[in-house]
Structure 1
Amino acid sequence: MDGMKAGSQLKERTGGQILADALVAQGVTHAFCVPGESYLDVLDGLYVNSDRIELVTCRFEAGAVNMAEAHGKLTGRPGVALVTRGPGACHAAIGVHIAMQDSTPLVLIVGQIPFEETDRESFQEVDYRRMFGSVAKWVTQIDDAARIPELMAHAFDVATSGRPGPVVVAISEEMQKRRVAVPDIGPANIMAAHPSPAAMQQMLDMLDHAERPLVVLGGSRWSEQTRRRVQRFCVARNLPVAVAFRRQSLFDCRLPNYAGDLGVGADAGLVARAKQADLILALGTRIGEPVSQGYTLFDMAGATPIVHVYPDQAEIGRVYRPALGITAEMNAFAEALEALPAPQAPARWAVWTQDLHAARLKQAEAPDYEGPLNLARELQALEKVLPDDTIFTCDAGNFATWPNRFLHVAERQEFLGPTNGAMGYAVPSAIGAKITFPDRCCIALVGDGGFLMTGQEIATAFQAGVAPVVMVFNNGMYGTIRMYQERAYPGRVSGTKLTNPDFSKFIESFGGHGELVQRDGELVPAFQRAVASGKPAVIEVRMNPEQVTNRATIAQLRAQATKA
């Protein structure tokens, strides 16, 4: 880089160029943005680095940050997004909240007002430390151009250390224009926190005394090797494995050890058996509200022994008091697992594991739903033809419980979804995933409500030259809210009905490929035609609005509410 050449004098650069060079120094390969006049000099710096950083122009700031968040989930490196001040930063806030609750490394760069205008309520002025203070790991503002390399390096360190998460960096127009001579700063060489041998032995001793253990996998920044190592450990000991909310990627859900997902819409049978467990191995998960079923799954004082492995000590015991807390980065913990001696004989809890897996298989059986389209069977047919490295991105909504229940994510597949329940995530994150891994099949799973929140980002796919497949599950309503509405106020429908366009024609207006699925046997051929088109595609799946969940109809919910 120009600012750091061995044996030569440092050259002066603008702050905007220094910041762009700082991204290069940190190994950034992609950045997602909605341009703004508040960071023109950074954009110019990225122009100079266009051979090293692919700048993706998006249509809405929330979409740009969700694309960056998906990039961070998939690579383990901080996703980078750039937005303008005021409205741009406000639009981006939802992506920051997603990254925080999902523990995804992310760096958001915000152009700021001229420094000399601070505290005058200048045009688009916002105090970003106050605005993002509760939803980001760290928020800073660069008020000295000479400190850009230092603060940017620290931003990347914070985003990836301990519990990963989002960092927000604001930089004013003057700092971008000011010329200074400073060296670039690359990534720090940091050894991850490893578990002690004593802790690993204590965990094994606790396993030896358990009759009904249950492993719960969660968290972020698991490498492929870590997934394989944890999987080998669990399979060798015949341990039942559940995944945390939207963490299906962490375990091969086709294996006989798989017990299901603990999250929103979890199988009641799995929840009941988790309460019967006499040892919980919580690996990488915070055991948050969705996983703990609203903090009802375990006793907070520790009646059920929990071994909690997490990279941030502050999270261990924050809600549930563990019998053993192990502060370790998950990839380092998995390395320690691999070094453990192999079990001498099959564990005595084999029947317990078989029971949990049998319950999972039972609840994954497709019921005989009324109507021309049995979505459960269609999803199971689709699963059989998908590439073994497919990337799923899933929105929030009742539709999401269908793939959770009826699809099984394989070892090399990825499943991305917002654990904070944010709608509008699936489409931009699928685009971000496809840009990150253009050779992999990327499928967005989204409801009709969520699609019309960020569906316009499909334009970004065309501009970037990538072709994700978007499956829109259309039931003409905000289904989750309608479900709760029918439970609390049966028959009193208010604010949840939707009027939708023809989604297949929507994508065709861009020059993409559209499909409409209404009957059994249509989904797989529609998907195959969509992929063969080589274009961004939308498959509209017309659902029976009466079947508001995969377990109950509106009539059934009303009847239950009336009895109550």
Structure 2
Amino acid sequence: MDTAGQKAPRHGGRVLADALVAQGIDHVFEVPGESFLDTLDGLYDQRGALKLVTCRFEAGAVTMADAYGKLTGRPAAAMVTRGPGACHGSIGVHVAYQDSTPMLLFIGQIAHQDAGRDAFQEVDYRQMFAPLAKWVTQVDHAGRIPEIVAHAVDVAVSGRPGPVVIALSEEMQKDIVSVPDLPRAVVSRAFPDPDAMLRMRTLLAEAKRPVAIVGGSCWTVEGRAALRRFLLANNIPVTVGFRRQSHYDGTLDNFAGDLGVGSDPGLISRFKEADLVLAIGSRLGDAVTQGYTLLDMAGSVPIIQVLPDGAEIGRVFRTRLGIVADLNAFAIAAAGLEPVQPAWSQWTRDLRSLREAQRAVPNYQGKLNLGTVMRELESLLAPDAIVTTDAGNFSGWATRFLNFGEHQRYIGPTNGAMGYSVPAAVGAKIAFPSRMVVSMVGDGGFMMTGQEVATALHHGVAPIVLVFNNGMYGTIRMHQEKAYPWRISGTDLTNPDFRRLIEAFGGHGETVVETAEFTPAFRRAVASGKPALIELRANPDQITTRATIADLRAGRTPPPAGNGPAAGTR
């Protein structure tokens, strides 16, 4: 570097690679494309500082970057090619946006002098990603790469975290420029207003039946510990938002369960008796509020909402008090407050008893009791295990029967994106190779992105995949049976032999048909040291943890003979 701070001339691809390193990015998940060959060349020079993960599908690559951001609170980069690659990757951007996950997505772009000609694979990414990302931009001049990458990281991690999309003009990456790398910005966290914290304590002291809802993203170990101290000191019953199951230690006596799809009806009923709601990191969205019905939008029940972005506070439900703050800074400040003298000890015990009651495993019909399997899995998980989940009814088995400990993590797509779990598990295992990583996925979701087990093999990591196989798109089938019982249309599936499939990849396979087979199969999977898959052959009639298809059809008139099966599930 010369005295003016300019570095030796570099092509744009190398400038980009250096800019990522300068901003602390250490993982890049990609499916290669000719539209960013020069960037791949630049990444070669930074292979000691950046781990380049070659994936099998763009949706898988972006999902891996999302999982990295969820688990670390820091953005990873994903790279995809233009047109079809960007369309495939957009699923992961939508996940990251709704989940508030920091992430960077780089898209190779056509030569900018051809813009507007409907050139090969041309897409205007500012329009395409505008509703899906915090910021979308395009780099047409290599000299601006350090500036744009630095700002992109700042945007991704500030306020409500989220994804940033950057298109890279093809010929720009070849340009030779002399520009300095920019240092990382040190930005202090947004601390809560002390007066607002005192007002919160006053509202809490006036309550008789408070409930906390914990959500959000980018929680740190320090922040989680402080949140735990605050909520325990005040003995506040704690619920967690949809797919935020491990945000709070489920083994504690004030943990009351989850609010989301398939929540305990008893918890929902008692929640409506609350006289104060403390929403910490929760946007109080559709799933958490049971289709916006759990609370009064006018705020008749006082709501205290804590979020890092003031624009999100009171967006749907009017709040009594909004606190704009980094969630970890809020938790630390809250833990420093003098606890109130709670008048709700019995209330907390009642809600906790509901949680324990719903974890009692019913005598489900069939050879394989998935409730028992989940309770056994709880004892088999490592203390710092990471569990990823997919979308679908099968995910209710974990949220109902598993309590996650303080150091365990559970991540999944709050937007209901199928195909999330397997690539998320692969990304998690690459980021944390020494931790146990378990993927939970339905047969439908696995067949969307299950090929990413090849990525695990390629990079020498060994997640364990549990495939819940009921031979159907279960969630849609449930709704179908509610609206049009017996009229099965478009939801049945034909599946491969999953054990043989993983073995063809070079992994370890197990098939579990009976409950007693699960624990030995799981232990063998762990001991194999290979990417492993355990197929759980579920009873297809048990459509949720609380209902069978027969239950959904009860009291409904069967179709005339010849118009469909009158009994069973097919």
Q: Distance in 1 between matches of 2:219 and 2:2?
A: 35
Q: Is the partner of 1:384 in helix, strand or coil?
A: helix
Q: Is the 2:5–2:180 contact (alpha carbons within 8 Å) kept by the matching residues of 1?
A: no
Give the structure 1 partner of residue 549 of structure 2: 554
CA contact (8 A) 2:245 2:404 kept: yes
2:82 pairs with 50, 66, 85, which one? Answer: 85
* Aligned counterpart for 1:365 among listed residues 336, 355, 360: 360
CA distance in 1, matches of 2:447, 2:457: 18
Which residue of 1 is the match for residue 34 of structure 2? 37
| Cα pair distance change 1:12/1:113, threshold 3 Å | same
SS in structure 2 of the partner of residue 272 of structure 1? helix
Match of 1:255 among 241, 252, 256: 252
Deviation at 1:359, TM superposition (A): 0.7
Which of 357, 380, 383 matches 2:375?
Answer: 380
- Write the distance in 2 (CA, Å) between the matches of 1:398 and 1:191: 41
* Contact 1:391/1:443 (8 A) holds in 2: yes
Mapping for residues 21-32 of structure 1, pairs under 5 Å: 21-32=18-29
Q: Which moved more, 1:466-475 or 1:327-336?
A: 327-336
After superposition, the Cα gap between the structure-2 partners of 1:212 and 1:78, relative to the gap in structure 1 and judged at 3 Å, is same
- Which residue in the other structure is 2:564 paired with? none
Task: Name the CA distance, whole Å, in 2 between partners of 1:284 and 1:303.
Answer: 21
Secondary structure of the corresponding residue to residue 110 of structure 1: strand
Deviation at 1:196, TM superposition (A): 1.2
Residue in 2 that maps onto 1:489: 484
* Structure 1 unmatched ranges of 5 or more: none
Rounded to whole Å, the distance in 1 between the matches of 2:535 and 2:37 is 39
Match of 2:283 in 1: 286
Distance in 1, Cα, partners of 2:64 & 2:396: 23
Following the alignment from structure 2 to structure 1, what is the Cα–Cα distance between the partners of residues 555 and 320?
40
SS in 1 for 2:28: strand
CA gap of 1:179–1:98, structure 2 versus 1, over 3 A, is same
Q: Secondary structure at the match of 2:19?
A: helix
The match for 1:311 is 308
Shift of 1:379: 1.1
Separation in 2 of the partners of 1:342 and 1:97? 39
Distance 1:6 1:364 in 2: 67
Query: Are 1:501 and 2:462 an aligned pair?
Result: no
CA distance in 1, matches of 2:535, 2:501: 10
1:288-315 CA-partner distances (Å, limit 9, x unpaired): 1100110001111111100000000000
Q: CA deviation at 1:9?
A: 4.9
Q: Deviations over 1:472-520 (max 9, x none)?
A: 0000000000000000000000000000000011000011100011102
Q: Which residue of 2 aligns with 1:276?
A: 273
Aligned mates of 1:5, 1:255 — CA distance in 2: 58
Aligned to 1:439: 434
How far 1:225 sits from its partner (Å)?
A: 1.2
The 5 A counterparts of 1:321-340 are 321-340=318-337
1:488–1:561 Cα contact (<8 Å) kept: no
Which amino acid letter does the alignment assign opposite residue 438 of structure 1?
P
Aligned with 2:44 (options 27, 43, 47): 47
Cα contact 1:487–1:561 (8 A) shared by 2: no
Alignment CA distance shift 1:210-1:342 (3 Å): closer
Query: 2:229 is aligned with what amino acid?
Result: R
Deviations 1:193-221 (A, max 9, x none): 10111010000000000000000000100
Counterparts of residues 508-523 of structure 1 (less than 5 Å): 508-523=503-518
Aligned partner of 2:414 in structure 1 is 419
Identity of aligned residues (%): 60
Q: Which of 100, 125, 128 is the equivalent residue of 2:125?
A: 128
Among candidates 447, 450, 473, match of residue 455 of structure 1: 450
Aligned pairs (5 A) from 1:197-216: 197-216=194-213
Q: Are 2:502 and 2:532, in contact at CA under 8 Å, matched by a contact in 1?
A: yes
Counterpart contact for 2:26–2:76, Cα < 8 Å: no
1:245 aligned to which of 210, 219, 242 = 242
Identify if the C-alpha distance between structure 1 residues 499 and 131 changes in structure 2 by more than 3 Å, giving closer, same or farther: same
Cα distance in 2 for partners of 1:251, 1:76 equals 17
User: Shift of the alpha carbon at 1:521?
Assistant: 1.4
Cα displacement string for residues 438-458 of structure 1 (whole angstroms, at most 9, x for unaligned residues): 000000000000000000010
**How far off its partner does 1:334 sit?**
1.4
The amino acid that maps onto 2:171 is E
The aligned counterpart of 1:534 is: 529
Candidates 58, 61, 64, aligned match of 1:61: 58
Is 1:110 aligned to residue 107 of structure 2? yes
Matched, 1:234 2:231: yes
Give the distance between the partners of 2:6 and 2:408, measured in 1 at CA.
49
Give the Cα–Cα distance (whole angstroms) in 2 for the partners of residues 198 and 397 of structure 1: 43
Single out whichever of 180-189 and 387-396 deviates more from structure 2: 180-189
Give how far 1:561 is off: 4.8
Structure 1's consecutive aligned runs of 4 or more residues displaced over 2 angstroms after TM superposition are 4-10, 560-563
Q: Distance in 1 between matches of 2:296 and 2:121?
A: 47
Q: CA RMSD in A?
A: 1.1
Q: Aligned equivalents of 1:409 and 1:535: distance in 2? A: 25
1:356 correspondence with 2:362: no
Question: Which position in structure 2 is the counterpart of 1:543?
Answer: 538
Aligned residues: 558
Between the aligned partners of 2:173 and 2:326, the Cα distance in structure 1 is 36
Once residues 79 and 54 of structure 1 are traced to their aligned partners in structure 2, the CA distance between those partners, rounded to angstroms, is: 10
Deviations 1:161-183 (A, max 9, x none): 11101100001111101111111
Q: Distance in 2 between matches of 1:320 and 1:551?
A: 30
Residue 341 of structure 1 aligns with an amino acid whose one-letter code is E
Alpha-carbon separation, structure 1, partners of 2:230 and 2:146? 42
User: Which residue in the other structure is 1:164 paired with?
Assistant: 161
Consecutive unaligned residues of structure 2, counting only runs of 5 or more, are 559-570
State the one-letter code of the partner of 1:481: I
TM normalised by structure 2 equals 0.97
Q: Specify which of 144, 147, 150 is matched with residue 147 of structure 2.
A: 150
Residue pair 1:70, 1:79 contacting (<8 A) in 2 also: no
Structure 1 position 266, deviation (Å): 0.8
How far residue 339 of structure 1 moved from its aligned partner, in angstroms, is 2.1
- The letter of the residue matching 1:452 is M
